[in-house]
Structure 1
Amino acid sequence: MKIHYVPTVLLLGSAALILLVGVGLLLKGRAVRRTAESFRSRAVAVTATVVALEAKDLSLGAEPDTRYFPRVSFVPAGATDAVEAQTLTDVPAPPPRVGEQIDVAYDPERPDRVDVAATKGDVEGAGRTWVVLGSLVLLVALGVAAAWLVLVLVVWTS
């Protein structure tokens, strides 16, 4: 069996780099999830008034999915002035109208970080995109390593 150094270095080197990217994406997903859990642990619930509604079209398939993110105004605990902020999460359908009251949770350390209270306690999806991307990248790394192994066992041994 003859070892071909250039393809070996290219394939295994690229597999190692792709593996590092995949691990980085998984770590990012973990950090996002921990941030969401930390937010939820210290969030304060309050009723806020919807002052505007922003529609965002998300298109993962053939048809777009419209999500609504309200801009709300509320007075944080211990404060006298109202805070106006865009929610970090969308509201469940049907979206509220401008002027309606909705329940939100805000970070007392940063009152401009507001989440819709309807999602309170639900951090299940936090960081999911990063984890899925990381998993797919790890599969690509395994595929590149498997391609090298096929070259070694099938092509270079004959």
Structure 2
Amino acid sequence: MRIHYVPTVLLLGSALVLLLVAGGLLLKGQVVRRTAQRFRARAVAVRATVVGLEAKDLSLGGEPDTRYFPRVSFVPDGAAGPVEAQTLTDVPAPPPRVGDELDVAYDPERPERVDVAATQGGLEGAGRTWFVLGYGVLLLALGVAAAWLVLVLVVWTS
């Protein structure tokens, strides 16, 4: 059996780089999830008035899925005046109208960070995109390593 060094270095090197990228993406997902946990641990619930609504169409190759992110106005504890902020999360359907009241949670350290209280149930969505990307790149890295192994066992042993 003869090892071909250029394809070996290219395939195993790219597999290693992809593993590092996958690790970085998974680490970013963990950071996002921890940030969401800290936000929810210190968040203060308040009733806010919807002053605007932004519709965003999200699509992954299929029909767009419209999500609504309200702009709300509320008075944080100890503040002299109201704060107006865009929510970090979308609202469940049907979306509220301007003038409706909505339960939100805000960060007392940064009152412009507002989350819709109806989405406070779980953290399963926090960092999900980073985890999916990380696992996808990890599979790609394993596929590149498997391709090298096939070359070694099938092609180069002939």
Q: Is the TM-score greater than 0.5?
A: yes
How much does 1:123 deviate? 1.2
Question: Is residue 132 of structure 2 the alignment partner of residue 132 of structure 1?
Answer: yes
Name the aligned partner's letter for residue 36 of structure 1. Answer: A
Could you list the structure 1 runs, at least 4 aligned residues long, displaced by more than 6 angstroms after superposition: none
Task: Provide the TM-score with structure 1 as the length reference.
Answer: 0.98
TM-score, normalised by the number of residues in structure 2: 0.98
Provide the residue aligned with 1:19 in structure 2: 19
Amino acid at match of 1:71: R
Amino acid at match of 1:67: R
**What do you get for the CA RMSD once the two structures are aligned?**
0.7
In the alignment, which residue of structure 2 is the partner of 1:92? 92
Identical aligned pairs, as a percentage? 82
2:59: which partner in 1?
Answer: 59
Aligned to 2:73: 73
CA contact (8 A) 1:71 1:85 kept: yes
CA-to-aligned-CA distance 1:74-111 (integer Å, 9 cap, x gap): 00001111000000000000000001100000000000
Rounded Cα–Cα distance in structure 2 between residues aligned with 1:40 and 1:153: 52
SS across alignment from 2:30: helix
Return the alpha-carbon distance in structure 1 between the equivalents of residues 157 and 123 of structure 2.
Answer: 51
Partner amino acid for 1:26? L
Are positions 1:107 and 2:122 aligned together? Answer: no
Counterpart-to-counterpart distance in 2, 1:114 and 1:133? 26
Check the 8 A contact 1:50/1:101 in 2, yes or no: yes
CA distance in structure 1 between the aligned counterparts of 2:122 and 2:91, rounded to whole angstroms: 13
Q: Is 1:38 aligned to 2:38, yes or no?
A: yes
SS in 2 for 1:77: coil
SS across alignment from 1:97: coil
Give me the whole-angstrom Cα distance separating, in 2, the residues matched to 1:83 and 1:116. Answer: 15
| Residue aligned with 2:133, SS | helix
Aligned pair count reads 158
Letter of the 1:123 counterpart:
L
Give the match's secondary structure for 2:102.
strand
CA contact (8 A) 1:12 1:148 kept: yes
Q: Distance in 2 between matches of 1:144 and 1:61?
A: 26
Matched to 1:86, the amino acid is: Q
Paired AA for residue 155 in structure 1? V
Structure 1 equivalent of residue 116 of structure 2: 116
Cα displacement (A) at 1:121:
3.6
